[in-house]
Every structure is written in C-alpha cells, then in structure tokens.
Amino acid sequence: MEGEESIEMSFDLDLVRTALVIMDLQKGVTHLQVAPNDTQAVVRNAKKLADAFRSGGGFVVPVRVALTDARDGLHPVTGRPVSASMQARPADGSDFIEELNVSPTDYQVIKCQWGAFFGTDLDLQLRRRGIDIIVLCGIATNIGVETTAREAYQHGYRQIFAVDAMTALSKEEHEHTLRYMFPRIGRLRTTEEILGSLQTGGAERSMEEGRLLRSLEAENTRLKQEIARLRSITRTSDSMSSKLRNALRE
C-alpha cells in the first residue's frame, strides 16, 4: 500500500487475538459528504469484514457516539465555525445504520468523544479476551478512526488499517492520515487483503495445531514406553532383592 515502507506484504491474522473495531457507521455520520471513498463503499467493505469476523468467531466491536444531553459532549473553543452539515444531525443519528447488520454477538461501544478508548471499557474487554491486534475502519479517517488508532497505539495494540473501509470529510484529510500517521503505528491493507489473511491464517493455524497434536501424541507414546521400561527394571530389582534376602537368611 502507498505510504508503507519496509513492511512485509504477506501477513496472517489470528481471529482469537484480533478484534474488528468499526467507527461511527451511524445515521448521524453516514449522511455527511465524504471523500475519497464514498459511504456506500465504506459500508460495503466494513460489512464484508464484519461478516468474516463473525463467521470465524472473531470479536466485532461497532462503536457509535450517543449523547444524553448537550452537557456530556465536548465543546472546544476554536477559531473555526462548525459546518452546517456537522450540526444537522437526524433524530435517530446515534443509531447504527441497518446495512451494518449489528449482531447480538457484537460488543457495542458507546462514546461521547472522538476516540473509542477514552471513557469506555474497550481496553478492558479486549484484554479479557486476550486480544492484542485491532483491525480498524469507519468514518472519519482523521477523526474517530485516527483518534482511536492513536489511543490503541498508546495501549500497546498492533493495528491493521482497512484503507478502503474508511473515508474522511475530504480527500486531503484522508490521505494525510494514511500517508503520515498510520504508517507510524500499524499496517495499511485493503479489505480483500485482510480477508485473505484471515483465510490463510486459519489454514495455517489448523496445520500448526495438527503438527502440535501429533508431536504431543508422539511424546505421550514415548513417555508411556519409558514408564513401562522403568516398571520392568523395578520388578527385576525387586526380584533380585528378594533373592538376595533369602540367600542371606540361609
């Protein structure tokens, strides 16, 4: 991928150790004008990833913003007015979009700020499950996705960025994050590359598990043989000791 240097092109993802974190694919965000990837493409690729993770027993984490009232959100003082499109949120803006097909097995995270870690139990839930790798996607690349990526980096997670399953409010913002930030803290991959790594990783895990099982069975057989040999030596020793005692009595 463009922007990566000295990074291996092939890689495998272990679903046991990997979570898919989907940022802000909710009705209050997906109505915005975005670039360079259109919303439909982002949703389509995010859904492909989510379906693959679910079918493989992986951990899927849809994240959304939901405010109780105006007081639980952030209100920075800036020199730039908020755009009308950012202020115009639908009444059901905190709901996930239907196309994502959020499942009962997904772990939903609700936040009141850009990042998915601050003020939530995301880190706790990942660590309890032994997860140390995150595949990250969603909207917007340089806001919710990048903030979460920075937080994940500081928590010590390895990261894969699904570059065609994310987008921003402008092409420049999207490309800036992909070119200058993400290569510092993770790997950039397309949706298809990630899906391929899940399939390859699963096959290689099965082969490795088979090799380990055969090795354990061979070791078990060897130990049984060794135990039988030691028992034979013990019986011989006991017999000789008995004969020696009888001879001494005579």
Of 20 and 226, the one with more pLDDT: 20
pLDDT band at 217; cut points 50, 70, 90:
confident
Q: Which domains does the chain have, with CATH numbers?
A: 18-202 (3.40.50.850)
**Tokens in use for 134?**
């995150």
Structure confidence at residue 39 (pLDDT): 97
pTM of the model: 0.74
Q: In 3-state terms, what secondary structure has residue 228?
A: helix
Confidence of residue 173 (pLDDT cuts 50, 70, 90): very high
Residue type, 108: Q
CB-based contact 156:132 (threshold 8 Å): yes
Among positive and negative, which fits the CA dihedral 161, 167, 169, 173?
positive
Counting DSSP H helices and E strands in the chain, the numbers are 7, 6
Res. 179 pLDDT band, cuts 50 70 90: very high
Q: What is the mean pLDDT of residues 22-45?
A: 96
Of residues 213 and 130, more confidently modeled: 130
53-78 mean pLDDT: 85
Average pLDDT of the residues in 11-17:
88
- So what's the pLDDT on residue 161? 98
Query: To 5 degrees, how large is the angle CA 197–CA 199–CA 204?
Result: 90
* pLDDT (tens digit per residue) in 115-166: 999 999 999 999 999 999 999 999 999 999 999 999 999 999 999 999 999 9
Closest CA to 65 of 18, 27, 121, 107: 27
Q: Is the pLDDT of residue 3 over 50?
A: no
**pLDDT level of residue 220 (50, 70, 90 thresholds):** confident
> pLDDT by residue (tens digit) across 68-106?
776 776 767 777 766 555 555 677 888 999 999 999 999
Query: Measured between alpha carbons, how far is 234 from 168 in angstroms, rounded to an integer?
Result: 76
Angle value at C-alpha 177, between 80 and 164, nearest 5 degrees: 115
pLDDT of residue 88: 56
Nearest CA to 99 out of 44, 51, 58, 54 is that of: 44
In the predicted structure, residue 9 carries a pLDDT above the cut 60: no
For residue 182, name the pLDDT band (cuts at 50, 70, 90): very high
Residue 246 has pLDDT above 80, yes or no: no
Across 77-89, b (16+ Cβ under 10 Å) vs e yields: eeeeeeeeeeeeb
CB atoms within 10 A of CB 129: 13
Report CA Rg, the chain: 28
